Amino acid sequence: MRIDLRSDTLTKPSKGMLEAMMQAEVGDDVYKEDPSVNRLEEHIAELFGMDSALYFPTGSMTNQAAIKIHTQPGEQLIADKYAHVYNYEGGGVSFNSGVSCRLLDGHRGMITADQVEESINPPDFYHSPLTSLVCLENTTNKGGGACYDFREILKIKKVCEDNGLGFHLDGARLWNALVVTDESPKDYGAAFDTISVCLSKGLGAPMGSVLVGKQKFMDKAMRVRKVLGGGMRQVGFAAAAGLYALEHNWQRMDEDHKKAQELSIALMKHPDVAHVEPVETNILIFNLNANANELQFIQKLQDEDIHISALGKGKLRIVTHYDYTDQMHKRFLEFLNTY
Give the pLDDT score at 7: 97
Q: For 283, phi and psi rounded to 5 degrees?
A: -110, 135
Residue pLDDT, tens place only, 216-258: 999 999 999 999 999 999 999 999 999 999 999 999 999 999 9
Question: Is 225 in the same domain as 263?
Answer: no
Whether residues 201 and 330 share a domain: the answer is no
Residues 173 and 318 grouped into a single domain: no
> Domain of 296?
3-8+252-338
Which residue, of 216, 248, 280, is where some domain finishes? Answer: 248
Inter-residue contact 62 to 209 (CB < 8 Å): yes
Query: Domain check: are 201 and 295 in the same one?
Result: no
Please answer whether residues 11 and 204 qualify as being in contact, where contact means their C-beta atoms are separated by less than 8 angstroms.
Answer: yes
Point out the domain boundary residue: 200, 229, 248.
248
**Residues whose CB falls within 8 Å of the CB of residue 191, separated by 6 or more in sequence, listed in order:** 150, 153, 154, 157, 167, 169
Distance between CA atoms of 210 and 75, rounded to whole angstroms? Answer: 25
Co-location of 323 and 258 in the same domain: yes
Shared-domain flag, residues 307 and 237: no
Residue 229: its H or E element: none
Instruction: Output DSSP code: residue 144.
Output: T
In this structure, which amino acid lies at residue 111? I
pTM of the model: 0.96
Domain total for the chain? 2
Low-confidence ranges of the chain (pLDDT < 70): none
332's enclosing H/E stretch is: helix 326-338
Task: Decide: 11 and 199 in contact? Cβ < 8 Å.
Answer: no
- What b-and-e string marks burial along 2-41, b requiring 16 or more CB atoms within 10 Å of the CB? ebbbebbbbbebbeebeebbeebebbebeeeebebbbbbb
Task: Give 15's contacts (C-beta < 8 A, 6+ positions apart).
Answer: none
Residues 324 and 240 in one domain: no
User: In this structure, are residues 86 and 93 in contact, taking their beta carbons and an 8 Å threshold?
Assistant: yes
CATH number for the domain including 329? 3.90.1150.10
Q: Are residues 227 and 301 in the same domain?
A: no
Residues 130, 154 within the same domain: yes
User: With DSSP H G I counted as helix, E B as strand and the rest as coil, what are the percentages for the chain, rounded to 5?
Assistant: 45, 20, 35
Beta strands in 199-247 (DSSP E): 209-213
**Bridge partners of residue 76, in order along the sequence:** 100, 131
**Which among 195, 217, 248 is the end of a domain?**
248
**Residues 122 and 143 occupy one common structural domain:** yes
Q: Do both 288 and 191 map to the same domain?
A: no
Give strand ranges (E) for 152-272. 166-171, 194-198, 209-213
The pLDDT assigned to 338 comes to 87
| Same domain assignment for residues 202 and 295 | no
Read off the CATH number of the domain in which 93 is found. 3.40.640.10
